[in-house]
Structure 1
Amino acid sequence: MRLLPIVVALGVVGATIASSGETQVPDAQIRPQSLQWQKAGEAALAVGQFQAADDALEAALIVDPRNRGAFVSLARVAQRQKLYGQAIRFTNKALALEPNDPVALGVQGEALVELGAVARAQQNLAKIKTLCGTGPCAPATSLAALIQRGPAMAKAETPAAAAKKN
């Protein structure tokens, strides 16, 4: 009688372990169709077709929601449209999959700078530098240059300030 709960618990654990390995795909393997959609989205972004890029990248995530690159590319689409908050949300999703992704940290840092959160962007830069080590690192270089420049939104002239000048 006292052994019954233990035997039942062991049976449930055994059944769970046996069934969990049947359908899992390793995280390092993104489905090829998802990568094709991602490439199509990045090509559309390169020529400025934001809606087509967005659609293709979302299709990539439907095919494989673990496609970190698609989240980063969606963040780049949002940045080009000056939707910096949305860019940060997409990079957060990429970083939830891999917290040490220097590209995602760099894109997120760029969006943070544009929103005026320079201190937080500097934290991202420090983490990128740690991840990249002493060698050249494109995400660190571009983020450092953007931090030096400062937020474009703060430098942009507001319509009210332009009206006062006239």
Structure 2
Amino acid sequence: MKIAVIGGTGLIGSQVVEELRAAGHEAVPHAKSTGVDVLGGQGLDEAPAGADVVVDLTNSPTSDADTVRLPATPVQPIAAAGVASAVAEVAAGAPLNGVRDIAGPGVFPLDELGRLTLSRKGDDRTVVTDPTAGMFALVKGDVLTDPKARLAPTRYTDRLA
């Protein structure tokens, strides 16, 4: 099966491409570095040509050199490897005609998660709570999963350790 992976050179996208290829699929990564600019529109018509499935793993940056802006939206972070496995499984499987919820086992406000992550990585940038920042700014309430969601076993704090 041919699968176009938009954002296929990023943290999760590259792992999805690797998993799909290991399973025998033709996974084609698309990103700005391959001539596909999602924001500018270049290459978007050509990227999915001939693909049986298109996976969108793009993300929007919300940081600069002085600060990281994040809303306080509650989220359940999941390891990139867990996301990649779930996405590859769904992309190569029969159509769900629905949504597959996946998440990590812990709940964090996104701004606090950012502070924790930067601190553990020795990054001295400041996290500013900004209810208008990024794609989670559009969410009213929280981004917690359905109780029937598939939960990954690895806790975020264990992954950072």
Q: Calculate the TM-score normalised by the size of structure 1.
A: 0.26
Which has the greater radius of gyration?
Answer: 1
Higher helix share: 1
TM-score (norm 2): 0.26
Normalized per residue, which structure has more strand?
Answer: 2
Q: Which has the higher contact order (CA 8 A, sep 6+)?
A: 2
